Amino acid sequence: MAKVLEVQQLNKYFGQFQALKNVSFDIEKGEVFGFLGPNGSGKSTTIRAILGLIKHDSGDIKLLGMDTAQHMMAAHQRIAYVPDDVYLWPNLTGGEVIDLLLRMSGHEHTSRTDALIKKFELNTKKKSRTYSTGNRQKVPLIVAFSLDVDLYIFDEPTSGLDPLQARNFQEEVLALKQAGKTVLLSSHILSEVEKMIDKLAIIRNGEIIESGTLSSMQNLAELNVKATLPDYETVLRFSHRHKFASIHNTASFAIRRDELATVLRELSEADVQDLQITPPTLEDLFIQYYDVGGAQ
């Protein structure tokens, strides 16, 4: 598999403050890569360093097989980037801003651009200063999705979108994936990226604390069990379990995969009436990693 992005031992200081500490990860062609971490963890700083928008102090970045120290311009022509802070020229209409952004990146307004404007329901006749946060956010997304490039980088793209538009975003990302494109998607909102990503890295305080495929991380984390039992007394038999909680006759708790057979036997002996066992969500994984004293 060809590597589309390789980041090695990236360090970045702002004055005395070290914003990035030996950040390393790579993305292969055709992958949708989730770059996850809470606010202030270093996601945007990493992305800006990758794109050469800020200078890093040490480390190597290879973008589309090119060393960015020498070939940044060439790399940029094959990348679409949606920044976290979108600047729109306030006196231009949304449509004019879209065309300006397209021209600035050396591309044309196409029928695909029109289809995206329709899909995201953007009124392009209005001055961009009148746009709500959600509408502002649609502008660079429409531009990015209308480009035919190799790598798409989205920095927290859905934080201001309503659920319908967030779903449109998801559909477009999945269409890129189908077309074999590569996507870097940063977010602190886990449930929004979970359905799109193949691999992920979790960053905290400027350090990558975990990376891998979503399924490999899910295998490490606990399963969620929710069981309806005949009575409250039976529910209490499970009260020693991790993260135990109960509502009426329903017990919920978390188990390791190697406890599954034992727990199923216990539940069966307890005359379980209804049962749900669900894999950990990204939210669960996140909490596990962010818990003070949790896995590090």
Q: For binding to ligand ADP (CB under 6 A), which residues are involved?
A: 14, 19, 37, 39-45
Measure the CA angle with vertex 198, ends 258 and 139; round to 5°: 140
Q: Which amino acid is at 219?
A: N
Query: For residue 154, which of 80, 228, 99, 205 has the smallest C-alpha distance?
Result: 80
In which residue are the tokens 């606010």 written? 39
| Residue 127 DSSP code | B
CB of 177 to Mg ion, least distance (A): 23
Cβ nearer to ligand ADP, comparing 197 with 235:
197
Cβ nearer to Mg ion, comparing 43 with 56:
43
- How far is residue 47's CA from residue 166's CA, in Å, rounded to a whole number? 21
Query: For residue 63, which of 137, 7, 122 has the smallest C-alpha distance?
Result: 7
Question: Which listed option, ligand ADP, Mg ion, none, makes contact with residue 37 (CB within 5 to 8 Å by class)?
Answer: ligand ADP
CB of 38 to Mg ion, least distance (A): 10
CB of 39 to ligand ADP, least distance (A): 4
Residues 6+ apart with CB under 8 A from 155: 43, 44, 47, 81, 82, 83, 84, 186
Per DSSP bridges, beta strands 151-155 and 182-187 are parallel
Question: Which listed option, ligand ADP, Mg ion, none, makes contact with residue 135 (CB within 5 to 8 Å by class)?
Answer: none
Name the token pair of 119. 């899909």
Question: Which listed option, Mg ion, ligand ADP, none, makes contact with residue 90 (CB within 5 to 8 Å by class)?
Answer: none
CB of 169 to ligand ADP, least distance (A): 18
Contact residues for Mg ion (CB under 5 A)? 43-44, 84
Question: Which listed option, Mg ion, ligand ADP, none, makes contact with residue 45 (CB within 5 to 8 Å by class)?
Answer: ligand ADP
CB of 153 to ligand ADP, least distance (A): 13
Name the token pair of 152. 């798409």
Strand partners, 173: none
Cβ nearer to ligand ADP, comparing 152 with 238:
152
Residue nearest to Mg ion (CB): 44
CB of 38 to ligand ADP, least distance (A): 7
Cβ nearer to Mg ion, comparing 46 with 128:
46
In which residue are the tokens 């006759």 written? 249
Under 8 Å between Cβ of 207 and 22: yes
Cβ nearer to ligand ADP, comparing 14 with 87:
14
